[in-house]
Amino acid sequence: MSRPVTLCTGQWADLPLEKLAKMASGWGYDGLELACWGDHMDVFKAAEDNDYCKRQLKILKKNNLKLYAISNHLAGQMVCDLNDERSDSFVPQELVGDAEGKRKWAVESMINSAKAAKNLGIDVVNGFTGSAIWHCLYSYPPVTEEAIEAGYQNFADMWNPILDVFDQCGVKFALEVHPTEIAFDTITAARAVKAIGGRKAFGFNFDPSHLLWQMVDPAMFINEFADRIYHVHMKDAALQLDGRSGILASNLNFGQAGRGWDFRSLGHGDVDFEEIIRALNHAGYAGPLSVEWEDCGMEREHGAKEALAFVRDCDFSPSTMVFDTAFDN
């Protein structure tokens, strides 16, 4: 089994798709995971205009690239988020400062993501969900269990109607388990699955980097949700705890000295990718390994090329036999 290696375009959305596709093809990538911002994928257009879908796919085909998934993290975040000024840059100008207007737009965007995926001939949309209770992470002032349960119910109330459309379109939603989402570790992921009744339209875009710095075992996450790993991000991270710093990052931005952890280009952090590949093999995952490149300390084109080589080198197929059965012959 040779899994396709793709490049997530979210960190490259400043480049036109025409230019990025040519670059990615030249580096040797098999495909792109198109972000739903920049000019890479407009889900409002793609949901209604098959010609638009054909034009975007033609750009990829011209560069010998395939499409396996699209990602709409920005809109997904606003479905359950508090929607303050942090997300004003995600929405049309007329919605800036309008928390509920942003939420309504986000719901429409996610519904259109399912329709766009169907029109594009793919069956996975990656993204975030947001969370109404992330700010309650530390229980002070005291947070009741009823308040936490209400947060999961809010998630179910907001996302079940969206997932109904995903089901109608034959598309799955893959949540990237991540801080600020309703699911940010293994325990909260299980609670989120329970909250939406275990429906199969909801699964995960596995990304080990967000688990690593929380000291959650990424391979154990795959083992626990083997039937819900719908997509995989390849991204590394490094703990940089020095006795002064902590895993909550000290209000320091990515790349700043003193942070307790940071994202790293593949192979330059602490993620054990061999164990992840072994877990994916056990889970029967044969989909793409998508490089989400983030490293404030490295030039990104160098990083993208190096990351591709790293993924090709670390991926391997599962065995088709138990090694000592050779003695039976």
At residue 60 the predicted structure's pLDDT band, cuts being 50, 70 and 90, is: very high
Q: Backbone phi, then psi, for 61, in 5-degree steps?
A: -60, -40
At residue 216 the predicted structure's pLDDT band, cuts being 50, 70 and 90, is: very high
For the chain, how are helix, strand and coil distributed in percent, rounded to 5? 45, 15, 40
Nearest to 309 by CA among 263, 273, 256, 276: 273
* Phi-psi sector, 109: left (phi>0), alpha (psi -120 to 50), beta: alpha
Cα distance between residue 49 and residue 43, in whole Å:
10
At residue 324 the predicted structure's pLDDT band, cuts being 50, 70 and 90, is: low
Residue type present at position 59: I
Q: Backbone phi, then psi, for 69, in 5-degree steps?
A: -160, 155
Residue type present at position 250: S
Cα distance between residue 246 and residue 214, in whole Å:
10
Tens of pLDDT, residues 228-255: 999 999 999 999 999 999 999 999 999 9
Tens of pLDDT, residues 95-108: 999 999 999 999 99
Nearest to 113 by CA among 47, 50, 175: 47
Average pLDDT value for residue range 201-213? 98
DSSP per residue over 249-262, as a string? Answer: GGGPPTT-TT-SEE
The mean pLDDT value of the chain amounts to 96
- Residue 157: CB partners within 8 Å, gap ≥ 6? none
* Paired tokens of 302: 């160098």
At residue 319 the predicted structure's pLDDT band, cuts being 50, 70 and 90, is: confident
Query: What is the fold, at CATH topology level, of the domain defined by 5-328?
Result: TIM Barrel (3.20.20)
Cα distance between residue 165 and residue 31, in whole Å:
26
Cα distance between residue 254 and residue 261, in whole Å:
9
Strand 261-264, strand 236-239: pairing: antiparallel
Residue 226 has pLDDT above 90, yes or no: yes
